[in-house]
């Protein structure tokens, strides 16, 4: 029961990048993933309270560590793909049919703390969503349509909170990434800044972010308002 509850916990964000402990954990995740012939592995599956996901690229020799990953963009809901999944922390005979976004864009830190962004499609999209579910304490059983389709012992553990956990599993939220935060910062500045040159500079910055024209450039000189 304690182990089951541990799998349901939100994980702690990593702040000590490029450390010996983090490198050791990353090495163990990689070796465990290879030993299990898995596409990906989350630290939580190994009993480690840390937001880190390892992905092994199936078609190349490269591999990816995602530290503190967050999804900042998803493909349209109408393009979601059906998958049949199993999980290393559950009985191998247990398979769940579920839907995953066909593509997701993820912001993350690498082992040195450098920020990166990557869009995943196909099997890697499925894998990264599965592993990031672990980060928020969600298992594939939480995607199950009903408790009756689960083994009795799992159904009994899930009975009290399955509806709530299913709602979390189905939630397609996106985080406000670096670009989004930059836009919010510019919007806040433009609401509080009354200097005309500053407004013009903000307009130019915003146009670069959004790929639009610089509206403030066409504003007439004061006191005529720009509308």
188, 196, 219 from 191: Cα distances, Å: 5, 12, 17
Active-site residue flag, 131: yes
Q: Please, which residues have CB within 8 angstroms of residue 137's CB and are 6 or more apart in sequence? A: 7, 8, 9, 10, 11, 44
Alpha-carbon span 66 to 132, nearest angstrom: 10
Q: How many helices (H) and strands (E) are present in the chain, helices listed first?
A: 7, 7
In terms of Cα–Cα distance, which of 126, 120, 123, 99 is closest to 108?
Answer: 120
Q: Strand ranges (DSSP E) for 75-203?
A: 81-85, 96-100, 103-109, 115-121
Q: Of 56, 85, 107, 131, which residue is the catalytic one?
A: 131
Catalytic site positions? 131
């Amino acid at each position: 029961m304690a182990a089951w509850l541990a799998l349901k916990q939100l994980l702690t964000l990593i702040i000590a990048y490029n450390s010996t402990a983090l490198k050791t954990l990353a090495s163990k995740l990689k070796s465990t993933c290879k030993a299990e012939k898995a596409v990906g592995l989350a630290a939580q599956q190994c009993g480690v309270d840390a937001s880190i996901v390892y992905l092994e690229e199936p078609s190349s020799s490269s591999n990816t560590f995602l530290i503190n990953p967050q999804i900042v963009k998803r493909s349209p809901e109408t393009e979601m793909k059906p998958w049949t999944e199993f999980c290393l922390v559950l009985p191998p005979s247990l398979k769940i049919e579920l839907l995953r976004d066909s593509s997701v864009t993820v912001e993350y830190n690498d082992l040195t703390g450098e920020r990166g962004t990557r869009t995943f499609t196909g099997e890697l999209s499925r894998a990264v969503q599965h592993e990031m579910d672990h980060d928020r304490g969600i298992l594939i059983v939480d995607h199950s349509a009903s408790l009756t389709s689960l083994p009795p012992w799992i159904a009994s553990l899930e009975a009290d909170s399955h509806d709530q956990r299913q709602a979390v599993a189905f939630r397609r939220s996106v985080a406000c990434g670096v670009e989004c935060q930059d836009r919010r910062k510019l919007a806040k500045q433009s609401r509080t800044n009354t200097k005309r040159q500053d407004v013009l500079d903000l307009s130019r910055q915003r146009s670069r972010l959004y790929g639009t024209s610089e509206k403030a450039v066409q504003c007439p000189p004061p006191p005529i308002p720009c509308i």
